[in-house]
Structure 1
Amino acid sequence: MSLSLLLPDQAEKLLLHSCCAPCSGGIMERLFEAGIEYTVFFYNPNIHPEPEYLLRKEENIRFANKLGVPFVDGDYNSDYWFQRTKGLEHEPERGARCSLCFDIRLEETALYAHEHGFPLMSSSLGISRWKNFEQVIACGQKAAARYEGLRYWDFNWRKKGGTNRMIEVSKRENFYQQEYCGCAHSLRDANAHRNSQGRPSIKMRKYYGKE
């Protein structure tokens, strides 16, 4: 069942930051069904290693093309991410490193929105149960506040069936299902947890695309 959506403040278009296809797929479909004009912005320099980044990006491109939705590649800049997060390598999930990671990605989203005439931005980051929704909102609002006339849409994508829709679309589209958040530190911690339970480490997928 589709959900009726209206952009706040009579905004005419939205820039949607996407972290990955499994999280953003349901959101993208709901926006599309509502007839909302939007563009997907993929900027996730946290994702490591690069083949993993490319896999996640290509899944997102595939679905955007299916819907006929514009897709912007924010480019991969892992060195910048590692530089800014230096010293936070052992912070827990949902801690200071995650806040800074959200800042990095949403600051770039806000800059693109400002430079290309988007009055509104949002992100798929908050739909995952592994993320702190309020933490994502705070980072998004802070990033948008840098530019006059830009607002972060704090719509809770989990509500009104949003989480179930996310899962349904992901299964239907056979999206690549990642097994860790994305960064090298989350991969380290995920493997440590798996190994403590006698489970093997995450096996990295190969990328066979054109990049």
Structure 2
Amino acid sequence: MTASERPVLTPPVPGGRVLLHSCCAPCSGEVMAAMSSSCIDYTIFFYNPNIHPRAEYLMRKQENLRFARKHAIPFVDCDYDTDTWFARARGMEREPERGLRCTMCFDMRFERTALYAHENGFPVIASSLGISRCKDMNQVNACGMRAAAPYDGLHYWDYNWRKGGGSNRMVEICRCEGFYKQQYCGCAYSLRDANRHRRAAGRAPVAIGQPVRGDAGTGT
């Protein structure tokens, strides 16, 4: 399916503005393109205090900001409150990918997204997190729905961005845009585990914040 053959999308509140939580440019590129092709009014919300260290965080944010500016999409740059993230992750340091620490992380990011949406008149929130095959889509969507539930009139859009060729288009957009190629999920503990696997395979450790370009990364 080519970009011109994308299905026409309708958010849960037809015609309503969407606040799109974006974890990174590689994951959000296709989601943004799909919304734009359906003439959906949306704004990027970048809140990812899990990304560690700061050099990596800045690299990922700048890539996302660059792509948003290229397409004239509003971009909200939220706080990088890592202290709160580490406090909430305490006791979960050894959790595996897709475990309780990831649920906490999604909850924290969606809670801030939902609050901003409520305070600024967005009836719909969505996220690019679920497009990555590294993520458990059911886990992501459950966190999004839980975050939206306290606010009357706020809906979480659980659309499957992978279907209809979405995953393949995500990779193609990453290649065409030359996005920074992420080499681990994002947090300090995923970096630790990624480097452990790389050492076992005889590979060099992750190069933090270096402009490695290529296909889609691992997601955040």
TM-score class, shorter? over 0.9
Secondary structure (helix, strand or coil) at the match of 1:8 reads coil
Structure 1 Cα separation of the partners of residues 13 and 55 of structure 2: 40
Secondary structure (helix, strand or coil) at the match of 1:205 reads coil
Structure 1 Cα separation of the partners of residues 118 and 138 of structure 2: 23
1:103 aligns with 2:107: yes
Secondary structure (helix, strand or coil) at the match of 1:26 reads helix
Give the count of matched residue pairs: 207
1:64 aligns with 2:30: no
How far residue 12 of structure 1 moved from its aligned partner, in angstroms, is: 1.6
Q: Which residue matches 1:6?
A: 10
How far residue 205 of structure 1 moved from its aligned partner, in angstroms, is: 2.5
Q: Which residue matches 1:160?
A: 164
Moved over 3 A (4+): none
Structure 2 Cα separation of the partners of residues 131 and 206 of structure 1: 24
1:186 aligns with 2:212: no
Structure 1 Cα separation of the partners of residues 203 and 168 of structure 2: 28
How far residue 11 of structure 1 moved from its aligned partner, in angstroms, is: 4.2
Structure 2 Cα separation of the partners of residues 55 and 176 of structure 1: 8
Secondary structure (helix, strand or coil) at the match of 1:200 reads coil
Q: Which runs of 5+ in 1 are unaligned?
A: none
Structure 2 Cα separation of the partners of residues 11 and 153 of structure 1: 13
1:22 aligns with 2:30: no
Structure 2 Cα separation of the partners of residues 10 and 29 of structure 1: 18
1:113 aligns with 2:84: no
The two structures have a TM-score, normalised by structure 2, of: 0.92
The two structures have a TM-score, normalised by structure 1, of: 0.96
Q: Which residue matches 1:87?
A: 91
Secondary structure (helix, strand or coil) at the match of 2:67 reads helix
Quote the sequence identity (%).
59
1:39 aligns with 2:29: no
* RMSD (CA atoms): 1.1
Supply the AA of the counterpart residue of 1:90: R
Structure 2 Cα separation of the partners of residues 205 and 156 of structure 1: 30
